[in-house]
Amino acid sequence: MAGTNTSKVWNESEWLLRDLKTRQRALACSTEMAAWEVIVREARTVLRTYSTSFFIVTRFLPAAKRSQVEVIYAAVRYPDEVVDTFPISSKQRAVRIEEWSNWYEQALRRRSLKEALEAGTPCFAVAFARVVSERGIPVEHYRAFLEAMKMDIHPRRFATLDDLIESYIYGSAIVVGYFLTYVYGAERKEDFDRALLSARDLGIALQLTNFLRDVAEDQRRGRIYLPQDMLQEAGIENLDATDPRQHSALNRVLARLTAISEQYYDSSLANLDAFAADSRTAIRACIDVYRQLNQRIAQSPRGVLHRESVPAKEKFKALPPSKYWRLPLAYLWA
């Protein structure tokens, strides 16, 4: 997931304890809106903990949209943690994802937040189901996301870039962009398809950038997200990111893919005007901040074993100076 802060992660017990305490606070509220705000505050904590970059850019959204985006992030963050960081077996990961999928389906059928919470449904599944309902997000998009998470449990290789995009990136990133598009909204009704196209291109760009930054880490987890045909054309039959003899060839593959990512950032930016005006600043900031990371990977002299990141001062350069006042308040109130 884009912008993950791997130095700050919660174990499974902490996630479950936080969910329990959040549910208790939400059920103690006298209104649905108050219960919603309790869950949103916890979702904001998840976002701030796991992704400094995305937390910053979402501060430029209107409050109502920002709250829903925070809930979306939490709803995709938890399954991602199940398959990436919890120290459990593959079988246990699969069970957790299936349980979460069932909770999501049940939450869609509940009439209210409190009814779902009383049934024991996890808070972020409850709140996300509300966003799906209110924004008209096709319910199958989240199902596609969870299917991609299952692929991380039992990873396979991808023959071509098209195979990677259609078989994995669609579920892991493109549909997440679609969730956000339904929240961001279009400038005009007839612009919505172009907004979805922009979200698709940005989802591909972000995911490719993440893959290129984490080649060695992904391999450690048994995953290879680089297209096999590109590796083979560079002379790599069996990828080993720790083998210095492969680094020159591997750097050529990374250079090729960072250039492709740039094209997707460009095409996403070309349709930015399709989004509602009050969402464009945040989307543009997202493109600019993560594009910096892509460019640092392309220009890095330190090789594939170094995990690139964008220093805070560089991130701020990509943000609109007229909006800086929002950031200190965001950190005070998060």
Q: What is the DSSP string of 38-105?
A: HHHHHHHHHHHHH-HHHHHHHTTS-HHHHHHHHHHHHHHHHHHHHHHTS---HHHHHHHHHHHHHHHH
DSSP string, 266-296: HHHHHTGGGB-HHHHHHHHHHHHHHHHHHHH
CA 219 to mean position of chain CA atoms: 20
Average pLDDT over residues 145-163: 96
Residue 317 above 80 pLDDT?
no
- In angstroms, rounded to a whole number, what is the distance separating the alpha carbons of residues 237 and 228? 8
Is the confidence at residue 328, as pLDDT, over 60?
no
- Which of 121-125, 178-182, 328-332 bottoms out in mean pLDDT, i.e. has the lowest? 328-332
**Contact criterion met (CB below 8 Å) for 56 and 319:** yes
- pLDDT at position 246: 94
Sequence-ordered list of residues with C-beta below 8 angstroms from that of 58, at least 6 positions apart, any chain: 47, 66, 69, 70, 282
Inform me whether the pLDDT recorded for 23 exceeds 90.
Answer: yes
pLDDT of res. 327 = 46
d(CA 27, CA 121): 12
The CATH classification number of 187-334 equals 1.10.600.10
Is the pLDDT at 174 greater than 90? The verdict is: yes
pLDDT bracket for residue 9 (50, 70, 90): confident
pLDDT of residue 329 exceeding 60, the answer is no
Averaged confidence pLDDT in the chain: 90
Which residues of the chain does CATH 1.10.600.10 include? Answer: 187-334
Q: Average pLDDT for residues 5-16, to the nearest whole number?
A: 81
**Facing residues of 186 across strands?**
275
Q: Give the pLDDT of residue 52.
A: 84
For 210, the token pair is 């993440």
Per-residue pLDDT, 106: 96
> 161-165, 180-184, 316-320: which has the minimum mean pLDDT?
316-320
65-83 CB burial, b ≥16 within 10 A, e <16? bbbbbbbbbbbbbbbbbbb
256-295 pLDDT per residue, tens: 999 999 999 999 999 999 999 999 999 998 999 889 888 8
State residue 320's pLDDT score.
62
More confident residue, 78 or 307: 78
Best CA proximity match to 8, nearest among 53, 37, 46:
46
pLDDT digits (tens, 9 = 90+) for 96-142: 999 999 999 999 999 899 999 999 999 999 999 999 999 999 999 99
pLDDT of residue 53: 82
Cα→Cα distances 197→144, 149, 216, 254, 285, Å: 18, 23, 31, 25, 18
| pLDDT average, residue stretch 8-32 | 95
- The DSSP secondary structure of 95-142, one letter per residue, reads HHHHHHHHHHHHHHH-SSHHHHHHTT--HHHHHHHHHHHHHT--HHHH
- The DSSP string of 132-175 is HHHHT--HHHHHHHHHHHHHHHS----SSHHHHIIIIIIIIIIH
- Read off the pTM: 0.90
